[in-house]
Amino acid sequence: MKDSEIKRKILKFFYEKAEGYVSGEDISEALGFSRANSWKYINKIRNDGYEIEAVPHLGYKLKSQPDKLYAYEISRGVNTDIIGKKSIFYYDSVSSTNDTAYELAEKGEPEGTIVIAEGQTCGKGRMGRKWLSPKGKGIYLSIILRPDMEIDRIPSITLVMALSVQRTIKKMCDINAGIKWPNDILINGRKVCGILTEMKAQPDVADFLIVGIGMNINAEKKQIPPEAVSLKMEIGREINRTSFLRCLLEEIEKDYKKIKREGFPSLRDECRKLSTVIDKQIKVREHNKLTEGIAVDIDEKGALVIRTKTGDVKRIFSGDVSIR
C-alpha cells in the first residue's frame, strides 16, 4: 500500500469518529500494522499539518485540519462523478498546473482528472502573459476534458466554465460577479479569476482540453496585480478553500454535462445576462486585429457579436476586450 493510501485510511477513521477517540489498536488491527507502525503514520499525518491529540487509554483525536487542498480532503466531500472524482493530482508547487495536466493527458489520464497546486512558479495567462499565484492563497486548478466536440464549439466551454465560477462565488460568498467575455470573472470591475483553455486537436475535433482556472481566494492586496481582487479582500474574511473547490467542481460538472447533452444554447441566456460587455462600447484585440464597436450579443457558439460604427456585424471567437 502506498503511503498516501495508508494516510487516507487512517484519516477516514478519524472522520467517521468525528467526536470520539480512535484507539491505536483499532487502527493497527484494521491496517494489519504493529502499534509502532501506526504511530509512525499518525506522525506522518501530523507532519502534513493535521492536529492530532493523543490521550493515554483513550486514543487519538483529530482536532483540526490544515489549510491545504489535499486530494483526500477534496474527494471525500465532493459530489461529482466525473470532475475530480477518479483522479486528483496534488502538488505543493508546480511551474504551471496546465502544463502538468497537459503532460498527464498525453499519457492518457481520463476525462475529469484534475491537477491542483498550492502555488505556481510560472502560472500562465493567455498569449504568454503571467498569472500571479501566491502560495496557499488561491485555487490553481487544471481539468482534463475529452469532450469529443468539433473545434468551433470549444470556445463556448471556457464561457460555461466562467459561469460555473460565477455561480460558485454567489453560493459561497453571496457576491454577484460578472463575466467579461471570454475568460475573466470580475467583481465590481476587478479581476478575481481568469481561465486559460488549451487543447490538443486533430484537424476537426479536439483530442483533449485543459481548462485552467486561477482564483484569488485569500490573497492580500500586495500579492496580486493592482487591478485584481480576492474574495477575502471583498468580504473581509478568509474563505475555506477546500469547501470552495468542492463547490466549484460540482458546479463545473453540472454545466459541463449540460453543454455536452444540450449544447451551448441551453446556457447562452445566462452567459448573456451575466456579461459585463453586452451593450457596451468596446475594443477587441484579436491577434493583430483591432475591432471597435458595440457588443450586442453572444452567439450560439459562444462568439462575441459586435456592431461596428459602419453598421457591420462581426463575430469574434477569442480576444482581449477593453471597455471604453
Residues engaged in binding ligand BT5 (CB under 6 A): 96-98, 120, 123-126, 129-132, 140-142, 183-184, 191, 194-196, 212-214, 216, 224-225, 228
Q: Which residues pair with 289 in a beta bridge?
A: 286
Instruction: Round to whole Å and give the CA distance between 320 and 283.
Output: 8
In the chain, the amino acid numbered 194 is G
Query: Is the Cβ of residue 8 or residue 137 nearer to ligand BT5 in the bound state?
Result: 137
3-state secondary structure of 51: strand
Minimum distance from CB of 8 to ligand BT5 (Å)? 25
In angstroms, give the least distance from the CB of 239 to ligand BT5: 15
Does residue 45 contact residue 70 with C-beta atoms inside 8 Å?
Answer: no
Residue bearing cell 460604427: 309
Q: Of 27 and 139, which has the nearer Cβ to ligand BT5?
A: 139
Query: Looking up cell 491542483, which residue turns up?
Result: 116
Nearest to 151 by CA among 213, 202, 99: 202
Pair 178, 147: CB distance under 8 Å: no
Q: Which is nearer to ligand BT5, 126 or 283 (CB)?
A: 126
Nearest CB to ligand BT5, comparing residues 42 and 101: 101
Q: How far is the CB of 117 from ligand BT5 (least distance, A)?
A: 8
Q: Toward ligand BT5, which CB reaches closer, 75 or 142?
A: 142
Nearer CB in complex with ligand BT5: 120/164:
120
Cβ density class 245-266: b for 16+ within 10 Å, e for less: bbbbbbbbbebbeebeeeebee
Q: How far is the CB of 193 from ligand BT5 (least distance, A)?
A: 8
State the nearest-atom distance from the C-beta of 194 to ligand BT5, in Å: 2
By beta carbon distance, the residue nearest ligand BT5 is 194
How far, in Å, CA of 87 to CA of 113, rounded?
5
Please state the closest distance from residue 24 (CB atom) to ligand BT5, in A: 40
Closest CA to 129 of 178, 189, 208, 184: 184
